[in-house]
Amino acid sequence: MERAVRSLVFAVLLFLALTAAGWTQTTYEDPQGRFAIDIPKGWQLAPQTDDKVFVFQGEGKSIIIECIPMVSDPAEIFKKAETTVKLSGMAKPTLDGDITEMTLNGLPARWGIYKGTMAGVTLAALCGGVANGENGLYFLSFVSVADMAKWKDKLEKAFQTIRGAGQKITGVEGVKAVSGGAVAAPAADSTPWKTDLVSLTLPPGWAEKPKPRGFEKEVKGWFTSDTIPGASLMVVCYKGMGLNLGKALDAGVKSVTIPSPGMKPVEGEELDLPNGKARYIALKGMVASGGSEVELASVVVSCKADKSYTNLILTGLGHLLPELKNQALEIAKTVK
């Protein structure tokens, strides 16, 4: 099992490294020609697991952009940003002021700010949606309300630079308020999933993807999230004499720490779930990417399924740790 774990780890980290792209200039232009944006100087693009999702980081803050193919209505695009806010774990997000409709560098757009709490901190979610021909994208940034005085204008100005690739900034025109309110709960359904060794149910937003080349046979499923930008999930199953939850958890931790020694445990506990006992650990640390360092978080939950010991390994950007944990525990409760 040790050999498989080590090979699996390096395959996963190689996959992330190959899809990572660092960016140190002010203007970022999507290689596929879908958009351009001016980001604060020194910010960088974090590792990508989905070529539609971009997370720019710097100074402890981030900007999330997701491209949405074949959606050209700015109201519908903005609703996707609202849904992401709801699924982020923010409690009772409420619109702060008006949603505004505008023409942004010649493109139809919407902008609004929601406020709510997460992990005891009051946050503002700055949301925007832009239609570019037959496609669209949404903009999202979470900021502590205490930091809004410093960051609101900077982030809003970054949003106002979104434009078609190769196009010039022409400014904001025709601003008017439109109706809005509390974010409605998403209507997406959970998804049952099974293999020969385990069955479980995925929360809304997770979609199975082809396993990257080099994954070991113990990896039964590879998933990415449409609602947690950049997050991924591996379902890893082990069989054999002498296995137990502790050994399965150790294997999961090595999957994270062998290739990334900077990832260190930050919390862990034994769990009594409705379907049995489980072990949980969260890790966090800096990982080299594109010539710089990015803070990542991983959550490992080890469960006993009917036919295997199963590890759920969720990985994403460091600030997403609370949501990664919530999602991992929700999935763990369904493991059979």
Question: Residue 157 burial (CB < 10 Å; 0-12/13-18/19+)?
Answer: exposed
Please determine, for residue 258, whether its predicted confidence score (pLDDT) is greater than 60.
Answer: yes
Domains of the chain by residue range: 2-15+188-332, 31-178
Domain range 31-178, its CATH number among 3.90.1580.10, 1.10.1040.10, 3.30.43.10, 3.40.1000.10: 3.40.1000.10
Q: pLDDT for 18-57, tens place per residue?
A: 333 333 347 999 999 999 999 988 898 988 778 889 999 9
Reported confidence tier of residue 316, pLDDT bands at 50, 70, 90: confident
The answer to whether residues 317 and 88 touch, using CB atoms and an 8 Å cutoff, is no
DSSP string, 66-104: EEETT---HHHHHHHHHHHHHHTT-EEEEE-S-EEEEEE
pTM, two decimal places: 0.54
Reported confidence tier of residue 90, pLDDT bands at 50, 70, 90: confident
Domain range 2-15+188-332, its CATH number among 2.60.120.510, 3.40.1000.10, 3.30.565.10, 3.40.50.1370: 3.40.1000.10
Task: Give the per-residue pLDDT at 117.
Answer: 86
**Fold identical between 2-15+188-332 and 31-178?**
yes
**Angle at which helices 2-19 and 245-257 cross, to 10°:** 40
Q: Alpha carbon 272 to chain centroid distance?
A: 27
Residue type, 244: N
Reported confidence tier of residue 185, pLDDT bands at 50, 70, 90: very low
* CA-angle at 28, arms to 101 and 319, nearest 5°: 80
Residue type, 309: Y
